[in-house]
Structure 1
Amino acid sequence: MPSPGPWRGVLMAVVGGLALLPALLAVAQLGRIHPDEVYQLLEPAWFRAHGYGVMAWEWRVGLRNWAAPGVASWLLRLADALGLTHPLAYRAVLAVPQVLLQGWMLWATYRFAERRVGPGPALLAVLGVGLYGPVLVFAGRTLGESLSAAFLVVAMEALDRQEAPVRAGLLGGCTLGLAVVVRYGSAVMVLVALAWLVGARRWKVLLFTCLAGLGVALALGALDWVTWGKPFHSLLAYVDFNVLSGQAARQFGASPPSFYALPLLTALPPWFWGALPLGWLSWRRRPAVSLPGLCAAVYFTALCATAHKEERFLYPGLVLLVLAAAPQVAGFVGRLGAERGRKLGSLLLVATTLLAGVLYPREDLKGDQFRAIVAATRGDDVRGLLIVNEGLWGSGGFFYIGKNIPWMTCDRPRDANFQAAMRDGRINRAVTFEGRALEELQAAGFRVVTQVGRETVLARK
């Protein structure tokens, strides 16, 4: 084992590098996993910072709270003050707090694993979580699932501590509360965590967890009061829309529980299945219920029972499952007798960890479209933009256009927006996916400027 000084340096380097990687991927790729990435955080933040933007229906009826978009709006103001006006630059500014949050999550992962298997295998467990394919895809994204999962991991580690119950409860309650603030659907796991504390008879930790969580809840109520005119307006509206009224299923569709079978199986790393017998043997020696594993299991059950389903909803539960399993597998690798076996086992764990990112989520990130929009709207002579073969909610909004100019979306040349754009002299830039309406655009005076992946960028005088 290396001495404490060098070992700590290696640990900090690994945690820092892994924390930075998802943000670098997200900023370099651009695009989005789901429209909510843009229209539930980036675009509301842009609206708050600049006074204009596309506001989704949730922001007209008060179904969301302004916590995360509010913080992002002040970061956008800071970027403006620093002269960072390119979309890539201010998107990178927004990535800074996510890097810090991801680093906090990975440090919590190390602490959680170290208690179980010691420093060396714990570092391998950090690699198993930090290089987990869905983490690389999601952790740098501005989705509620992405932010909530990181807060949940920190909370799991805090509540797992046996020392300093007051501090553990305060940290656990605060981060559980923040996990709900950024994504109300995570409340299921908060209830499970509280029940777990009751079952473990950890009354002091439970008390301070509840006190800290209550403080976050009161802050949320005050924020909703200021922004929506009623305490807990967004939370109550969310529960009514998604749980009580059934409107979510009617508006966005309902699916059977089997909807999650394939994405759940393909999203888990192959080594996860090896953790199941290892966990059973560990439980036989010392019976104990894994908090992150229990939270994930109940959360998946709740997802299956909810009518409206989306693959991205799985992400927080997947991270908790991997958190629960990684120490078991890393500890097994660390106990292998031959050094060659340990190295091979570590290599296999890391390599297979990455595989799930290829299969989950099965979404087109549209990174080339967003990069094309950024390329098309640079320059002082840009007066307006048409995006062909894309709807409003699939586009990047004013956030990626970066200026207050008219813009439209359409699917085909016969659409009203396309015809209006061809007549509107302000629309002097166009982006089209896979060459749709290319001839019609050229007939209207547009010329091809550049190609960005599957996207063609055009301009006219």
Structure 2
Amino acid sequence: MRETICRKGFDPALLALMALALAVRVPIAWLTVYHHADEVWQYIEPAYGVVTGDWIRTWDIRLGIRSWLIPLFMLPPVWLGYTIDPLGELHLVLPRLMMAFVSLGTVWAGWALGRRISRGHAIAAGFVAAVWIDFAYFASRTSSDTFSVLAILPGLALLYRFRDTGNIRQAWAAGFLLGLGVIARFPLGPAVAIPFLWAGRADFRKAWPALLGGASLAVLCDVLANAAMGQAPLLWIMRNVLANIVDNRSHAFGLEPPDWYLRVLAWQWQYVAAALAPVLVLGARRYPMLLLTALAVIAVHSAVGHKEYRFILLAVSLLVLIAAIGSVDLASWWAKRGGKALSNTMLAGVLALWLGASLQVGATEPFRINWNVGKAPLRAMQTVRNQRGLCGVATYRIRDVPFISRAVLNRDVPALLINTQAAAKVAQGRFNVAIAPIEHIGELPQNYRFVGCMSPTTPLFEQQYCVLARPGPCTEKPGLLDYNVALKRMDR
């Protein structure tokens, strides 16, 4: 009787897992800045621009290859943070906290997939979705990669519920969430077609109208978001394909061989990968469609020259969830060998092993590098904001272009991009604070005093973000050195 009640009602264990997930995610959202600069320049920066009317437009924004759906999704927390603390950074933190809360849907997804088998499977899958490092760290990232995973995983769980119950509303919801995930990151389309075909089968009277209807609503959300910003419907997808596939713009950010993702996963998980292999096989027997979807994500992205780990986040999430379910199968098999059922103690042991593996991956290279990404640029902007009499800021020979974000700077002062010593000398009346690499600070005019460098744990010769300031006001306008004007001239 208790098993039936737990299956139909809201199990308190699920509530505990969600609380655990928040306890892990909120500190990560608060303490980390970003995993990739796209999280700021493609999503937070446009939302900040809607709020303030002032933002930095990168080449992809100027070409119109990005949808406004995610920036408008970020708009409420950006607006709220800016309204509450217009001179601070709350508008940067609240979107990450919002994503952390939305990510609780992935905990439910793990729970729901495990619950189809047993409560023990549900607890294990939900626990892993709550604490595994990829789930926890990427949950609060304000990127299309995270957005797509947060939509698709609950959508997949709802697909299984629809196939189990025949509830048409679940098919509509699943179609909507999967469609939303694909709109957020359309290269996932071929992989997500697999669960669509699996769920629809030959049911053209019931399943397909609901699935396609839900997906159409997701597309409509994108159309309306772009229409609100004066953009033609879905034109951004064609422009994106032309820019990155036909014109190979993405190749400028690096090219990797086809086996790169497999090597990175082996490097990321190291000996943990060997432990995951057998339980992944066991879990795949329960959910072969999910394994096929994960492999399709990796295969599609392996065929593209420019590769980044975050691109296959959906595949990583699915593989980990499948392995979590398989780990309970392995523990149950071991218990049966001794003539016993899986006990709470054994299940706790399984969870402890997962937690230990997650901590191991998160604390070692290459993953541990992620904990400090973006902190030096943020410290640089904080130092700039704290300079008395700030009237203009310039980057001087900074390799990272773009570097200045209006959302991160959060000051209504001119921003300049300068790459030559002659320009810095001529334009010194246009800015009184500069950011430069340590090896180039001597090239700035002598009236700029050294304030400090922003990477305290990095050797001095590697310091790339040092702040300098001069006394006095700014007497000239940025002109051709204006950051947006310079980016357009450089096609960056």
Q: Is this a same-fold pair by TM over 0.5? A: yes
Aligned residue in 2 for 1:208: 210
- What letter is aligned with 1:318? V
Write the mapping of 1:351-362 to structure 2, written as runs, cut at 5 A.
Answer: 351-357=356-362, 358-359=364-365
Cα distance, 1:235 vs. partner? 1.9
**Among candidates 220, 232, 235, match of residue 233 of structure 1:** 235
Q: Which moved more, 1:348-357 or 1:99-108?
A: 348-357
Q: How does 1:157-306 map to 2 (within 5 A)?
A: 157-161=157-161, 162-199=164-201, 204-243=206-245, 245-248=246-249, 251-268=252-269, 269-270=272-273, 271-279=275-283, 283=285, 290-306=288-304
Distance 1:182 1:339, change over 3 A: closer
Moved more, 43-52 or 261-270: 261-270
Q: Distance in 2 between matches of 1:235 and 1:98?
A: 24
- CA distance in structure 2 between the aligned counterparts of 1:371 and 1:313, rounded to whole angstroms: 28
- Tell me the residue number matched to 1:448: 451
- 2 CA distance for matches of 1:49 and 1:176? 30
Whether 1:367 aligns to 2:375 is yes
1:310, distance to aligned residue in structure 2 (A): 2.4
1:391/1:410 contact within 8 Å kept: no
* Equivalent position amino acid for 2:407 in 1: F
Tell me how far 1:34 sits from its aligned partner.
2.1
Secondary structure of the 1:85 match is coil
Aligned-residue Cα RMSD (Å) equals 3.3
Name the stretch that deviates more: 20-29 or 308-317.
20-29
Contact 2:13 2:123 in 1 (8 A): no
How many residue pairs get aligned? The number is 446
Alignment of 1:401 with 2:399, yes or no, is no
SS at match of 1:436: helix
Q: Kindly indicate whether the alpha-carbon contact (under 8 Å) linking 2:41 and 2:56 is maintained by their aligned counterparts in 1.
A: yes
Aligned pair partner of 2:440 in 433, 437, 456: 437
Structure 2 CA distance for partners of 1:60 and 1:277, relative to 1, 3 Å: closer
In the alignment, structure 1 segments of 5+ residues that lack a partner are none
- Quote how far apart the aligned CAs of 1:98 are: 0.7
Per the alignment, in what secondary structure is the counterpart of residue 146 of structure 2?
helix
Q: Deviations over 1:51-81 (max 9, x none)?
A: 1111112222221111111232343223333
* TM-score, length-scaled by structure 1: 0.85
Residue of structure 2 in register with 1:45 after alignment: 47
Choose the corresponding residue for 1:33, options 32, 35, 41: 35
The runs of 5 or more residues in structure 2 that have no matched partner are 336-342, 459-464, 472-492
Q: Distance in 1 between matches of 2:75 and 2:255?
A: 34
Relative to the length of structure 2, the TM-score reads 0.80
Deviation, structure 1 residue 415 = 4.6
How far 1:179 sits from its partner (Å)?
Answer: 0.7
- Deviations 1:160-206 (CA, angstroms, capped at 9, x unpaired): 11124312211111101111222222222331221222448696333
The one of 390, 395, 398 equivalent to 2:398 is 390
When residues 379 and 410 of structure 1 are mapped into structure 2, their CA distance, relative to the original with a 3 A threshold, is closer
- Which whole-Å CA distance do the structure 2 matches of 1:227 and 1:201 have between them? 38
How far the C-alpha of 1:297 sits from its partner, in A, is 0.9
1: CA distance, partners of 2:15 / 2:423 = 52
String of CA shifts for 1:272-313, please: whole Å, max 9, x gaps. 212234246xx3xxxx65332221111111111223322321
Aligned CA distance change for structure 1 residues 239 and 445 (closer, same or farther; 3 Å): closer
Secondary structure in 1 matching 2:241? helix
Would the aligned equivalents of 1:122 and 1:330 in 2 still touch at CA under 8 Å? no
CA contact (8 A) 1:295 1:317 kept: yes
Q: Residue type matched to 2:38 in 1?
A: D
Percent sequence identity over aligned pairs: 20
- 1:53·1:398 contact (CA, 8 Å) conserved in 2? yes
**Rounded Cα–Cα distance in structure 1 between residues aligned with 2:137 and 2:396:** 27
Q: Quick one: structure 1 residues 302 and 425, their matched pair in 2 at CA, closer, same or farther if it must change by over 3 Å?
A: closer
Shift of 1:457: 4.3
| Distance in 2, Cα, partners of 1:46 & 1:127 | 35
Paired residue for 2:474? none
Whether 1:101 aligns to 2:105 is no
Change (3 A) 1:136 1:86: farther
> Aligned residue for 1:460?
470
Q: Which of 362, 380, 386 pairs up with 1:378?
A: 386
Measure the CA separation in 2 of the matches of 1:368 and 1:410. 20
CA–CA separation in structure 2 for the residues paired with 1:379 and 1:215:
48
